[in-house]
């Protein structure tokens, strides 16, 4: 069946295919990237041996259930405690929070963020089923702060990448971001999600200046 030019699947078939793809890709990537992950972990530890290598944060996930998101640490110790003092500099409205040239980010952290290497530990989240390769990005604030219509984004497992990263804008507020994500995932198309995943790879390569 097609809708808007995209091939759609029944919901059970879509979920089964999506989960199988997530497991296969994340497991393969973790094996292949193991030396890279080890090298990054060592660099983060050397940068500040007293701080954790892996940053763990509770995020709002599928169905509104919280889970622990994993990333390589890119900020100084005590970064969360500094968030309130930087609130008036955020590009978007609270409780969403985004800064340009965030002063809490370390020199190594800027490199990891620019190359998106800090996101690689989330492959573990994908393998465990807490995330998907493609889905709405999980929020650091609870679903109780959402408006009722915005909770529709919680019908989809949060992703390592999603339409907001490719089609959105850094200044896009949470309401517009929800509209974009909900509209995108209402059509169950594995092909379209694969295209978005490939577009993410291209975007990261262009951002890092790799020819």
Residue 69 and residue 98: Cα distance in Å, rounded?
18
Alpha carbon distances (Å) from 155 to 4, 13, 124: 21, 16, 21
Query: What pLDDT does residue 8 have?
Result: 55
pTM of the shown model: 0.84
Judge whether 183 and 175 are in contact, CB under 8 Å: no
Q: Sketch the domain layout of the chain as residue ranges.
A: 2-208
Task: Please say if the pLDDT value at position 150 is more than 50.
Answer: yes
For 70-87, the pLDDT digits (tens) are 999 999 887 777 777 787
Mean pLDDT calculated for residue range 115-143: 95
């Amino acid at each position: 069946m097609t809708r808007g030019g995209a091939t759609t699947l029944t919901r059970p078939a879509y979920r089964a295919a999506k989960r199988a793809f997530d497991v296969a890709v994340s497991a393969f990537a973790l094996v292949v990237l193991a030396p890279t992950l080890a090298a990054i972990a060592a660099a983060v530890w050397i940068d500040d041996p007293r701080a954790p290598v892996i940053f763990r944060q509770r995020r709002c996930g599928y169905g509104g259930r919280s889970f622990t998101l994993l990333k390589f640490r890119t900020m100084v110790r005590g970064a969360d405690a500094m968030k309130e003092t930087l609130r008036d500099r955020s590009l978007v409205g609270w409780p969403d929070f985004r800064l340009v040239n965030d002063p809490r980010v370390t020199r190594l952290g800027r490199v990891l963020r620019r190359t998106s290497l800090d996101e690689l530990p989330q492959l573990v989240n994908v393998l465990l089923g807490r995330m998907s390769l493609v889905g709405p990005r999980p929020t650091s604030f609870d679903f109780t702060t959402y408006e009722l219509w915005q909770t529709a984004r919680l019908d989809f497992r949060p992703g390592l990448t999603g339409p907001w990263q490719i089609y959105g804008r850094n200044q896009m507020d949470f309401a517009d971001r929800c509209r974009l994500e909900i509209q995108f995932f209402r059509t169950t198309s594995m092909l379209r999600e694969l295209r978005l995943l490939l577009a993410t790879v291209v975007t990261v390569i262009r951002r890092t200046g790799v020819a």
